[in-house]
Amino acid sequence: MKEFYPERICAVCREDLDELEIAYGDCPVCEQFVCEGCDDGYDPTTGQMVCPDHAADPRAKNCTE
Ligand SMILES: [Zn+2]
Ligand SMILES: [Zn+2]
């Protein structure tokens, strides 16, 4: 079994999130990190941010802000 640790790089703009020092969250669908500038919805309960590719996915329905 292969374990996967995502890099802390925005899936959209490919910026290094540790260097940018802005808010980011993981997409509830693809689990990639998305920065505050590229996200297409935010779930204040879990802190997850949906990427633009999955904004319409039912699994991201809580990402509204
Ligand atoms: Zn970004
Ligand atoms: Zn996604």
| Residues whose Cβ atom is located within 5 A of ion ligand 2 | 27, 29-30, 51, 54
What is the bridge-based pairing of β-strands 24-26 and 33-35?
A: antiparallel
pLDDT (0 to 100) of residue 45? 95
Angle value at C-alpha 4, between 31 and 63, nearest 5 degrees: 10
Rounded to an integer, what distance in angstroms lies between the CA atom of residue 23 and that of residue 52?
16
Domain span holding position 21: 1-41
Total number of domains constituting the chain: 1
- Pick the ligand that lies closest to the CA of residue 38: 1
Are 44 and 63 in contact, with CB atoms under 8 Å apart? Answer: no
Would 19 be classed as within a structural domain? yes
Domain presence at residue 63: no
21 in a structural domain: yes
65: confidence class by pLDDT, cuts 50, 70, 90: confident
**DSSP character string of 23-53:** -EEE-TTT--EEETTT-S-B-TTT--B--GG
Ligand 1 centroid – CA 59 distance (Å): 21
pLDDT tens readout for residues 27-64: 999 999 999 999 999 999 999 999 999 999 999 999 98
